[in-house]
Amino acid sequence: MSLVAENGFRLLPGRLDPAAQRDLLAEVMRRVEAAPFYRPVTPGGKPMSVRMTNFGPLGWVTDAQAGYRYQPTHPQTGEPWPDIPPALLDLWREAADAPGPPDACLVNLYDAQARMSLHQDRDERDFDYPVLSVSLGDTAVFRIGGTSRRDPTRSVRLSSGDVCVLGGGARLAFHGIDRVLSGSSQLVPGGGRINLTLRRAGAST
């Protein structure tokens, strides 16, 4: 398995084989029945094109009223988020090189039109913890730059089963999803892409 590493950005292409991808997708969809995908609204009042839910003690949410934050409950059901799938906790232990376990897993669902604009993940308490992402389904065109929005960027394809880690000097790198290549995978029924990002959002233990 090849590995691209530079300044804290690590890509593990094909880290999950097709059977592991199917198993993880089943674990995800079982939890989504209790915590449905919904469309968050930015602090500026714009509905996002990506639909989201979360697993774990804390979930990342946004709305026009209170902006970006982590909270323990689903904004629509009011219920606690489902647990993080054990396979993801194993993956974190193996690949994240973190001082402790994650407490949040953001789940993004992309249809053919969905995009995510260039952003930093900076709503977490402790940037010594990396963010680890797992991609399932259609391939995404991921863009990653430096810690300034003006830094040059490059494009990386994230395919089903790929794992990527933003840690160290890349923890606060700007990144986003330019587009999703519709029909590039058959994994997700009805098409689309699911990205799971594991984080440590709250105080470290």
Judge whether 81 and 177 are in contact, CB under 8 Å. no
Sheet with 4-6, strands from edge to edge, namely 4-6, 9-12, 163-166, 131-137, 193-199, 104-110, 51-55
CB burial of residue 86 (10 Å; 0-12, 13-18, 19+): exposed
Residue 28 binding partner per list Fe ion, ligand MD6, none, with a CB distance cut-off of 5 to 8 Å that depends on partner kind: none
x-marked contacts with ligand MD6 along 18-57 as a string, rule CB under 6 A? ----------------------------------------
CA distance 72 to 60: 9
Task: Give the residue carrying structure tokens 């950005």.
Answer: 9
Cα–Cα distance list, 83 to 57, 73, 179, 192, 194 (Å): 7, 12, 29, 23, 17
CA distance 140 to 112: 10
Question: Which one of 102-110, 118-126, 136-144, 149-157 is the stretch in contact with Fe ion (CB under 5 A)?
Answer: 118-126
x-marked contacts with ligand MD6 along 120-139 as a string, rule CB under 6 A? -x---------x-x------
Residue 27 makes contact with Fe ion by CB under 5 A: no
Residue 195 binding partner per list ligand MD6, Fe ion, none, with a CB distance cut-off of 5 to 8 Å that depends on partner kind: ligand MD6
By C-beta, is 34 or 159 nearer to Fe ion?
A: 159
Least Å distance, CB 158 to ligand MD6, is: 6
Residues that bind ligand MD6 (CB under 6 A): 108, 116, 121, 131, 133, 140, 142, 158, 164, 166, 175, 177, 195, 197
